[in-house]
Amino acid sequence: MNRTLALAFPDAHCELDFTTPLELAVATILSAQCTDVRVNQTTPALFAKYRSAQDYAGADRAEMEEYIRPTGFFRNKTNSLIGLGQALVERYDGELPNTLEDLVTLPGIGRKTANVVLGNAFGVPGITVDTHFGRLVRRWNWTQEEDPVKVEHIVGALIERKEWTMLSHRVIFHGRRVCHARKPACGACVLAKDCPSYGAGPTDPATAAALIKGPETEHLLELVGL
């Protein structure tokens, strides 16, 4: 299934815009309960204003809240960003650390965020168990665990470590574009023959094809002969 997803999404990648590890950590914190599209609309002005851990550490709370208000839960997120900046300045000379053990000690950064940063900013393989990833691997019977840490370890044992980051991107792309929560596009899915949940959504090819989203739509339909 991973190999098939690699054919379906050869350009799968982190859909948050960033240029530094710190920017990716900030964007990932902002992405909680918010779409990547909205985060990417919000971060250019934020990143222009706050360029370093020192900038976040010394930020004016009310001013930062206005910058990130569109992402929702902006007060909690402001707490996390200011706390992150302060912790980096106090403990890591203002630089984001590059190990899971260190990252998860920082305000606003749990395992999911840490794995996003490790995989995409530092090139360290990591599995990102977001809502799409957890939903799909349970739908595929790779695991029935709900706990993200257990899911991460079980899936990590199934797939080569070097593939972890790309697997995460492919599964998330597939969840956003094809295997939707309420109405998966089963009849136009490249994984149909391998999927134990085939039939959870419409199996008629034309009906299913209309459900596929995103810039890869034409390519995805070609792969299934539509």
Is residue 162 part of the annotated active site? The answer reads: no
Question: 11, 130, 147, 213: which is the annotated catalytic residue?
Answer: 130
Q: How many residues does the chain have?
A: 226
Question: 11, 17, 112, 147: which is the annotated catalytic residue?
Answer: 112
What is the rounded CA–CA span in Å between residue 17 and residue 121?
Answer: 11
DSSP letter string over the chain? -HHHHHHH-TT----S--SSHHHHHHHHHHTTTS-HHHHHHHHHHHHHH--SHHHHHT--HHHHHHHHGGGS-HHHHHHHHHHHHHHHHHHHTT----SHHHHTTSTT--HHHHHHHHHHHS--------HHHHHHHHHTTS----SHHHHHHHHHHHS-GGGHHHHHHHHHHHHHHTS-SSS--GGG-TTGGG-TTTTSS--SHHHHHTT--STTHHHHHHHTT-
Is residue 55 part of the annotated active site? The answer reads: no
Q: Which residues are catalytic?
A: 112, 130
